[in-house]
Amino acid sequence: MSATTEFNSLTGKEVSRKYLTGLIGRARKEKSTEVISRLSGMLKNNPGIDRFVIKITNQIKENPPAKKKTKPATVKRNPASKQKPVTKPLQRTIRKAKPTGLNSPEVHSNPNSLAYRLANKPENVEYYNIADHDIAEYLGNIEKKQKESVVISLTGGQGSMKTRHCFQLMNAFGQNYKIGHASIEEHPESKLYLDKATQYLNNRALQSIVAPEIKTMSDLDKLIRENDVIIIDSFTKVQEMCKGFEVDKDLRKKYNGKIFIVIFQQTTDGKMRGGSKSQFDADIVLFTEKKDDYRDNYIYADKNRYQDKPLDGLHYNIFSGSLIRKSDPNRKLTFNVQ
């Protein structure tokens, strides 16, 4: 097989840099200049890549085998005739220009290019199956990432029922996923904790949730690696265990395929205590609105990367466990009985 034929057969194949270097060597022996030019340029422009998926948009035309030279036939002419011999016009070979820009093989073989990623994107994207309809509606269609994780921050003042809402979230996710609850603020063996578990969690969720005592970062790391959804109560307590702890570098980018729900305390001016940077890093930013009557307390999203509906119409009443429908102000609140 010639170097040109081998080059044309590469489209759709994954090959190594070493293989392509060897093919360039064979092309030099056969004087296949176009093969040498295309492959050398691709390797030169991508010095840090060892594996290539090749897509050839314009194949190289094979040169026909060289014909044996034959002596031209001798034409006897009549000396009396002044007619000149007929000569064939010269034929010029026009080569196709080397593909450049978006048509070049370098673009489609570079795994960092958007063209490569779109051509190789997964056909089926997996989303989290949240069992509670109203919680699923206000959280949106959350992607289950293959790389990195999703972070949901939940901020509220003292007594705003943010811990109770975490139990509602644990029950919703616990129907289909393994839940790890890092309850550092409230001890998981306390009566207060167990009373909330009885009130908000059904039997299926109780079997899916683990709540070990978290005293060290090693305890937290183990909890994260063994579960799908991790609730951390609270960010301040984790920072006390690990100075410099951040949502982005220590949770979202450190682990793959998880959901983190992290509770933050609220400052007097309504911001996340010790977590202004986390508000930018989190994928979903939730706040609790505290009312004089605790039964009117609700959750709302200040930011949600997975929501295509207007956020001001998605307020979740914690006491009733249901969305507040602005379109129907007289609607009676529905209570979820587990």
Give pLDDT tens digits for 160-193: 999 999 999 999 999 999 999 999 999 999 999 9
- 33 and 155, same domain (yes or no): no
Tell whether 333 is covered by a domain: no
pLDDT surpasses 50 at 126:
yes
The reply to whether 149 and 224 lie within a common domain is: yes
Element (H, E) at 262: strand 259-265
Identify whether residues 113 and 193 lie together within a single domain.
Answer: no
- Count Cα neighbours of 163 within 13 Å in the Cβ-side half-sphere: 22
In this structure, the answer to whether residues 40 and 186 fall within a common structural domain is: no
101 in the same domain as 173: no
Instruction: Judge whether residue 199 has pLDDT over 90.
Output: yes
Q: Report cis status (omega within 30 of 0) of the bond before 2.
A: no
Domain of 159: which CATH number? 3.40.50.300
- Which pLDDT does position 158 carry in this prediction? 86
Q: Tokens for 25? A: 């060597």
Residue 126 lies in a domain: no
What confidence category does residue 23 fall into, taking pLDDT thresholds of 50, 70 and 90? confident
Domain that holds residue 109: 3-64+95-119
CB 60 within 8 A of CB 110: no
Amino acid 113 reads S
Range of weakest confidence among 48-57, 135-144, 316-325: 48-57
Q: Tell whether 115 and 157 lie within a shared domain.
A: no
In which order are the strands placed within the sheet that holds 179-183? Answer: 209-210, 179-183, 229-233, 259-265, 150-156, 284-289, 298-304, 315-317, 322-324
CA gap 284, 279 in Å, rounded = 9
Map tokens 């490569």 to a residue.
116
Q: Are residues 16 and 154 part of one domain?
A: no
Q: pLDDT per residue over 72-107, tens digit each?
A: 666 566 655 556 666 666 666 666 666 655 556 655
Residue 76 lies in a domain: no
Of the listed ranges 30-34, 192-196, 198-202, the least confidently predicted one is: 30-34
Confidence of residue 66 (pLDDT cuts 50, 70, 90): low
Q: Indicate if 113 and 137 belong to the same structural domain.
A: no
Q: Based on the fold, state whether residues 225 and 150 are members of the same structural domain.
A: yes
Q: What distance in Å separates the CA atoms of residue 248 and residue 262, rounded to the nearest whole number? A: 12
Structure tokens, 335: 């209570």
Residue 38 lies in a domain: yes
338, part of any domain: no
Q: What is the C-alpha separation between 30 and 4, in angstroms, rounded?
A: 9
Q: What one-character DSSP code corresponds to residue 296? A: G
Radius of gyration, alpha carbons of the chain: 34
Q: Are 162 and 152 in contact (CB under 8 A)?
A: no
- At 256-296, the pLDDT tens digits run 999 999 999 877 766 666 656 666 789 999 999 999 999 99
What are the percentages of helix, strand and coil residues in the chain, rounded to 5? 35, 15, 50
Same domain for 105 and 188: no
Structural domain count, the chain: 2
* 198 and 317 in a common domain: yes
Residue 333 pLDDT = 42
User: Are residues 59 and 108 part of one domain?
Assistant: yes
